[in-house]
Amino acid sequence: MEAAKLPYDRSYNFSAGPATLPTEVLEQARDEMMNFQKSGQSVMEMSHRSKVYVDIFTRAQNSLRQLLSIPDNYDILFLQGGATMMFAGVPLNLLKTGKEGKPTVDYIITGDWSKKAADEAKMYSDYCNVNIVVDSKQGADYKTIPDQSTWKLTPGAAYIHYATNETIRGVCFNTLPTFPEDAVVVCDMSSDFLSRPIDVSKFGVIYAGAQKNAGPAGATIVIIRKDLLGRQLQICPSALNFKKQADKASMLNTPSTYPVYICGLYFDWILKHGGLPWIYQQDQEKAKLLYQTIADSKGYYELFVTDPKVQSMMNVPLRVFAGGEQNKENMTPHELKFVAEAAKLGLVNLKGYRDLGGIRVSMYNALTLDGIKMLCEFMKQFQAQNPPL
Amino acid sequence: MEAAKLPYDRSYNFSAGPATLPTEVLEQARDEMMNFQKSGQSVMEMSHRSKVYVDIFTRAQNSLRQLLSIPDNYDILFLQGGATMMFAGVPLNLLKTGKEGKPTVDYIITGDWSKKAADEAKMYSDYCNVNIVVDSKQGADYKTIPDQSTWKLTPGAAYIHYATNETIRGVCFNTLPTFPEDAVVVCDMSSDFLSRPIDVSKFGVIYAGAQKNAGPAGATIVIIRKDLLGRQLQICPSALNFKKQADKASMLNTPSTYPVYICGLYFDWILKHGGLPWIYQQDQEKAKLLYQTIADSKGYYELFVTDPKVQSMMNVPLRVFAGGEQNKENMTPHELKFVAEAAKLGLVNLKGYRDLGGIRVSMYNALTLDGIKMLCEFMKQFQAQNPPL
């Protein structure tokens, strides 16, 4: 098999995040690096309060609003710190509900990230009770999502938190769960953000670190229904205070100016090609190809998540056991060989998450169909050439 | 006067931050944008846990350690959220001192930023008493720093906080104040970071947003003495928890990967040219030229800070009254004309801070001596051609 011949000798990058970006976005960033549109400055050098930069920032917000059809009663914030900072930001900003007594918050745990979010909320146990609605580690090892009939939602909870897609184990809510009409639904969409059209009006807060599906690390997107602003605790750091940031159009302090600029280019790249319907069609096609290749392998490649209802379009952890002992990073001899040979062909970052071992294919928005086609071809060839030991 | 002829038609950028970057740094970033050193990836696309990126990150830390001669008993963290996030981060990380009773924290207020830091600490009044050691607004309108003999330090305070340089009004501690031997000194150095050699061992914590003197917005540097790690309150968000971040080499969560890379290039640029002694000599020369030009104007240009002991090498707010009424942004007709004519020549972002009006010259590390020379030449010519009304 020939190594990939990509522009600039670039690899197909299957990293789980930070992740591959559209080549056109990087080209534009490169071309504008020394002097952005005759402004005399690089975007990195611009005062965040200058007209030229505020236009970049506002355009990014408007493009995102257009992409997701975000209703007018939602604010879009560009903050910092990633999803991990928002794990604290969510309770810090939503607990002052105006009701009597200590509020309860509901957490749905379907993997490592939603577990971390719940653990962070527990640090604020002086301010709220954390109710675990469901924890699919018990009994399911995070391999599936238990039926909603088994969930224990709290009537009148301050909010319900979940993560649409779990990056590590690749479990995904492919459809929106059914929640009570008046529930404040808070969702970490970091790893499937902008991968399909969604109905934003079903959510109270959506947040996402940009570095998987929407840009580089350092920009964190928060979409919040305006009536939820003002529920912050006094102990909420100002830079993390959704209300204060919304009042200042995300410029209470200096935002992460360059990463937001790149996000804007990424949003515009999606819009130019057809918006979320286009991305969704692409992402479905990529996922179909990969899952079909795995199915055709007759068990040579083993999926971690076998229930098609909750399989992710974004992250697919898989194993190649085929005999031999695992090393201390949970890698079998075949897996080590797979990762090394793929890398030689320009298919990189396929090593699985360190605790889980094996292989993980992440195929975010910017990973092209050609990349997945080449990976699937490689997988077939690898299987043919490397029978079980 | 001829417009500046700079490479790439770039302007001399006097922005107070985000601010000008070395041309060589931007060139390298541009050249490495599509494929960093044959890695097949842009730095923006790299997994923060990949070897190629960890090397970039570690190199940035090592270069900073070398530049500032940071002793081994200090950790260097690259976090997110800028100084504003650290205004909360400081009390959240330093209040559990192990002593009985509610701790007192000492704040020295010499301008808008140190005032904001103190106000943020007051949000944690359930956890500490905030003592204002001195507030130079009273009586001095933040134009000078009252003599240390008037300060009211608290014996046994959990920490003493101050800011070396006030970006808005240009008041600067040009020498380190004298503090008790066992004091935990915490310093916001955002706007004069890396502008001169300092004795890090005098400080408990130094922090700085990178976007003035050390890189782009989105990277926040924290230098902390290791024995101070572990004093965080339970309510401290994990991503802002110095101890948790130090334990994970600043990778508890995804750091702001690209801004840190640019910081690293900036550090290396300083090292290549001679380190902090070189920068300090440059910065002194630039400041001398500007202050001399102002002095030579015989009052045409009026300084906000007239006491040489506390004048800043970095930010110099000044006024051109010369008759006429100020507009609602506190700009006189001469100032408006000054800013507009300077911009036509490629001298940009000279408008003063919005509350203060007038002109502000920010001349951070990356602003070249040539830029200041041209500005001073322009100032003389402007004065000659625009007599008082």
Band of the pLDDT at A323, cuts 50, 70, 90? confident
Partner-chain residue, chosen from A18, A21, A238, that has the shortest CB–CB distance to B84: A238
Question: Structure tokens of B104?
Answer: 């007192």
- Residues of B designated as active site: 113, 188, 212
The amino acid occupying position A349 is: N
Respond yes or no on whether ipTM tops 0.95.
yes
Question: Structure tokens of B380?
Answer: 């003389």
Band of the pLDDT at A361, cuts 50, 70, 90? very high
The amino acid occupying position B117 is: A
All residues of chain B having their beta carbon less than 8 Å from the beta carbon of residue A234 are 123
Chain B interface test: which of A8, A23, A44 (most B C-beta within 10 Å): A44
Q: Give bridge partners of residue B204 from the DSSP assignment.
A: none
Q: How high is the pLDDT of residue B3?
A: 83
All residues of chain B having their beta carbon less than 8 Å from the beta carbon of residue A85 are 80-81, 237, 239-240, 253
All residues of chain A having their beta carbon less than 8 Å from the beta carbon of residue B255 are 217-218
Residues A252, B42: C-beta atoms closer than 8 Å: no
Q: Tell me the nearest-neighbour CA distance from A141 into chain B, angstroms.
A: 23
* pLDDT tens digit sequence for B11-51: 999 999 999 999 999 999 999 999 999 999 999 999 999 99
Residue B243 has pLDDT above 90, yes or no: yes
Residue B317 has pLDDT above 80, yes or no: yes
Band of the pLDDT at B354, cuts 50, 70, 90? confident
Backbone angles phi, psi at B11, to 5 degrees: -90, 160
The rounded percent of chain B whose pLDDT value lies above 90 is: 96
Q: How high is the pLDDT of residue A3?
A: 84
CA-nearest residue to B117 within chain A is: A238
Q: What is the rounded average pLDDT of the residues A211-218?
A: 97
Catalytic residue among A188, A192, A268, A283: A188
Does the annotation count A188 as an active-site position?
A: yes
Residues B10, A35: C-beta atoms closer than 8 Å: yes
| Among A122, A125, A128, residue whose Cα is nearest residue A103 | A128
Q: What is the rounded average pLDDT of the residues B359-369?
A: 97
Partner-chain residue, chosen from A13, A23, A44, that has the shortest CB–CB distance to B262: A44
Identify the CATH number of the domain defined by range A275-385.
3.90.1150.10
Would you tell me which CATH number, out of the four given (3.30.50.10, 3.40.50.620, 3.40.50.150, 3.90.1150.10), belongs to the domain B276-385?
Answer: 3.90.1150.10
Greater confidence (B354 vs A172) lies with A172
Indicate the helix (H) or strand (E) that contains A361. strand A359-362
Q: B225 Cβ partners below 8 Å, 6+ apart?
A: B73, B74, B203, B204, B205
Residue A5 has pLDDT above 80, yes or no: no
Between residues 2 and 31 of chain A, which touch chain B (CB distance below 8 Å)? 7-11, 13, 15-21, 23, 26-27, 29-30
Residues A253, B81: C-beta atoms closer than 8 Å: yes
Q: Give bridge partners of residue A88 from the DSSP assignment.
A: none
Specify the DSSP class assigned to residue B100.
Answer: S
Q: How high is the pLDDT of residue A260?
A: 98
The rounded percent of chain A whose pLDDT value lies above 90 is: 96
Q: What is the rounded average pLDDT of the residues A250-267?
A: 98
All residues of chain A having their beta carbon less than 8 Å from the beta carbon of residue B42 are 21, 26
Chain B interface test: which of A31, A122, A130, A253 (most B C-beta within 10 Å): A253
* pLDDT tens digit sequence for B160-186: 999 999 999 999 999 999 999 999 999
Q: What is the rounded average pLDDT of the residues A212-221?
A: 98
* pLDDT tens digit sequence for A331-351: 999 999 999 999 999 999 999
Q: Tell me the nearest-neighbour CA distance from B100 into chain A, angstroms.
A: 21
How far apart CA B224 and CA B340 sit, in angstroms, is 43
Name the segment(s) of chain B with CATH classification 3.40.640.10: 27-272
Q: What is the rounded average pLDDT of the residues A147-163?
A: 96
> Which CATH architecture does the domain made up of B27-272 adopt?
3-Layer(aba) Sandwich (3.40)
Q: What is the rounded average pLDDT of the residues A208-231?
A: 98
State the average pLDDT for chain B.
Answer: 96
Band of the pLDDT at B379, cuts 50, 70, 90? very high
Q: How high is the pLDDT of residue A4?
A: 78
How far apart CA B170 and CA B145 sit, in angstroms, is 11
Instruction: Confirm if B162 and B296 have CB atoms less than 8 A apart.
Output: no
Question: Structure tokens of B114?
Answer: 């140190």
Instruction: Confirm if A338 and A320 have CB atoms less than 8 A apart.
Output: yes
The amino acid occupying position B111 is: G
Residue A155 has pLDDT above 80, yes or no: yes
Beta strand B220-225 pairing with B302-303? unpaired
Name the segment(s) of chain A with CATH classification 3.90.1150.10: 275-385
Q: What is the rounded average pLDDT of the residues A148-164?
A: 97
Between residues 229 and 268 of chain A, which touch chain B (CB distance below 8 Å)? 234-235, 237-240, 252-259, 262
Band of the pLDDT at A1, cuts 50, 70, 90? confident
The answer, for A222 touching chain B at a CB cutoff of 8 Å, is no
Using DSSP, state whether A134 is helix, strand or coil: strand
Between residues 269 and 328 of chain A, which touch chain B (CB distance below 8 Å)? none
All residues of chain B having their beta carbon less than 8 Å from the beta carbon of residue A238 are 84, 87-88, 120, 123
Q: How high is the pLDDT of residue B287?
A: 98
Lowest mean pLDDT among A43-52, A139-148, B110-119: A139-148
Give CA torsion, residues B229, B232, B236, B241, to 10 deg.
Answer: 0
Name the segment(s) of chain B with CATH classification 3.90.1150.10: 276-385
- Helix (H), strand (E) counts: chain A: 9, 12
Q: How high is the pLDDT of residue B302?
A: 97
Q: What is the rounded average pLDDT of the residues A4-25?
A: 95
CB count, 10 Å around CB of B229? Answer: 19
Q: What is the rounded average pLDDT of the residues A320-333?
A: 91
Residue B69 has pLDDT above 80, yes or no: yes
Q: Give, in order, the Cα–Cα distances in Å from A251 to each of A256, A257, B275, B362.
A: 10, 10, 33, 20
How far apart CA B260 and CA B85 sit, in angstroms, is 17
Q: Tell me the nearest-neighbour CA distance from B194 into chain A, angstroms.
A: 18
DSSP string, B302-367: EES---GGGB-SSEEEEE--SSS---TTS--HHHHHHHHHHHHTTEE--BPPTTT-SEEEE--TTS
Band of the pLDDT at B389, cuts 50, 70, 90? confident
Residues A80, B83: C-beta atoms closer than 8 Å: no
Backbone angles phi, psi at A145, to 5 degrees: -115, 115
